[in-house]
A = this chain, B = another copy of it.
Amino acid sequence: MKAKITITPKKAVLDPQGKAVQNALEHMGYAGVSGVHVGRYLEIEIDGEREAVEKQIDEACHKLLSNPVIEEYRFELE
């Protein structure tokens, strides 16, 4: 099955990319943009039992795919 993982910077962490995108958007004349956050997105093709996979992905997210010091993650399985 396919795991779709999104990893976003914690609110406390300064997110220069988000700022840059926000400025660029305003520059291009997009009104009403109040906040932008830039993170990472991963798709992992993996097979196995749903529970097992769920456990594995969660562990992988915690250990490797995200850095708990600066990031949060969430994922869904399809």
What residues make up the interface of A, taking CB atoms closer than 8 Å to B?
6-8, 21, 24-25, 28, 30-48, 56, 60, 63-65
Query: Which partner residue on chain B sits nearest A27 by CB separation?
Result: B64
CA distance A28 to B46 in the complex (A): 14
Interface of chain A: mostly helix, strand, loop or mixed: strand
* Cβ–Cβ contact B43 & A8, under 8 A: yes
* Cβ–Cβ contact A46 & B60, under 8 A: no
Write the nearest CB–CB distance from A29 to chain B, whole angstroms. 10
Known contacts A31-B48, A64-B25; A36 and B42 CB within 8 A of each other: yes
Residues in chain B near residue A39, CB distance under 8 A? 40-43
CA distance A36 to B43 in the complex (A): 6
